[in-house]
Amino acid sequence: MSTLNPFAIAQQQLDEAAKRLGLDAATHELLRWPMREYHFTLPVKMDNGVTRIFKGYRVQYNNARGPTKGGIRWHPEETIDTVRALAAWMTWKTAVVDIPLGGGKGGIVCNPKEMSNGEKERLARSYIRAVGRELGVHRDVPAPDVYTTPQIMAWMMDEYETIMGHSHPAVITGKPLPVGGSQGRGDATARGGVYIVREAAKAMNINVKNSSYAIQGFGNAGQFAATLHPEILGGGRLLAATDSRGGVFNRDGLDPNALVKHKLESGALTGFPGAKPISNDEILELECDVLYPAALEGVITAKNAGNIKAKIMCELANGPTTPEADKILFEKGVYVLPDFLANAGGVTVSYFEQVQNTYNYYWSLADVHQQLDRKMTDAYKSVYEMSKKTKVHNRLNAYMVAVARVAEACKIRGWV
C-alpha cells in the first residue's frame, strides 16, 4: 500500500494512538480493520433506455458502541479504500463526541453531475435494494455525503420503507424536514466547530469578543462559520475568506452577512466592495486568532506549516493537515482542533435526528442548539484533559480519547 492510500493513513493514525495507549495486540488488530464490508453491482436503466452497471460499497467498520453511522458518497473516483478510511474516521468521530454509535460509510462509483433526477432516483433505489437488509436504526444508518442530497436520502428511505412494509424514518438521516429531518442540521458542522473554538479560546485566555478570524473555503461550512463566529463568541472580526476562485481581505474586517449574500448572488467572493484580493495560499499564512480551513484536504503541509500564524486552527474540512504538518504546528504552538472533533457537529445532529425519528417526537431549534453545545463542549473537555496528561499534538489526543472508548466497549463485550 502506498502512503497516499487513505486507508493506510487511517491505520497509521490508529497505530500511533494504540501504541501510546498500550493497547494489547488483539484489540489493536481488531480496530485496524472493518468488521464487515459489502460490494454491490447495481444495474440501472438510464433515460436513453440503456442499462448501465454501477459499483457500490458499504463498510460497517465497528459497532461495539452502537449501530454503525456514516454517509453515502457518489463520486466518479470512489474507491473501497476511501470508503474504509472514512468508515474508520466515523468510528473515532462518534466516539470522541460520545454518542452511542459506531462508524460506517458507503459509496457508489458514478458522476451525478451527468445524471438526470430520474436516473439518480433509480440509482438510489437500486442501492437500497442491494444493501437494505443490512440497514436499520439498530444496525446501520446512512446519511448524505459528497454529491448526495436530502432528496436522495428521501428516495432511499422510501425504498427501504416500501421493502419493509412499514414506517422507518430513522433508517436514514439528513432527510428533508417534511419527512422526518431535524431542525438545525444545515449549520450543524460549522456551529459545532465554533462552539469548540469558544471553549479553546477560553482555555488559552484569548479575548473572544475581539478575536480575528479567516476562512479558507466558502461552501456550506465556511459560510456558516463566517456568520456564527461573531454570534456565538459575542464578537469577532472576519479578516479574509477564499473560495476556489480566489478571495477577499480587509484588515479592518469584512461584514460576514454581506459577504455570504455576495457569494450566493454572484457565485464568487471576488469583487466584494472594499476588499483587496487574497489567494488560497496567502490566507493560510495570515496573522489571526482563528483560522478555519473549510475547503480541501492536504492544504497544510510540511512546506507551509512553519508559516502559519493563527493561534487556533479549527479544521472544518476533512484532512486539511498532513501528519508532518501536525508535528510542525505543535512545536510552533499553533493550537489545532482536529477535523474529527471540530466537524463532528454534523454527525451529532444526525444522531439527534435518529433519536427524534425513533421516539416520534421532534425538538425545537433551540433544543437542538442546546444539546449540540453540550455535546461539543464535553467532547472538547475530554480531549483537553487528555492533552494535559500526554503533551502531544491534539489530533493524537483526540484519537486516544476515541480509540480508548471503542477499545473499552470491545473488551466489555468480550470480543477481545
In sign, the C-alpha dihedral spanning 256, 262, 264, 268 is negative
Q: Which residues pair with 238 in a beta bridge?
A: 213, 254
Kindly give the residue spans of alpha helices, DSSP state H, lying in 183-267.
188-203, 220-233, 256-266
* Distance between CA atoms of residues 236 and 387, nearest Å: 27
Decide if 375 is catalytic. Answer: no
The residue assigned the cell 425519528 is 357
Question: Residue 53: exposed, middle, or buried by beta-carbon count in 10 A (0-12, 13-18, 19+)?
Answer: exposed
CB neighbourhood size of 93 (10 A): 27
**Strand ranges across the sheet with 237-243:** 276-278, 246-254, 237-243, 212-216, 290-293, 312-314, 335-337
**Strand ranges across the sheet with 51-62:** 36-45, 51-62, 103-109, 68-75, 140-144
CB neighbourhood size of 330 (10 A): 18
Find the catalytic residue in 55, 69, 93, 105: 105
Give the residue from 240, 221, 35, 42 showing the smallest Cα distance to 140. 35
* Distance between CA atoms of residues 411 and 220, nearest Å: 39
* Distance between CA atoms of residues 185 and 314, nearest Å: 19
Catalytic residue set: 105
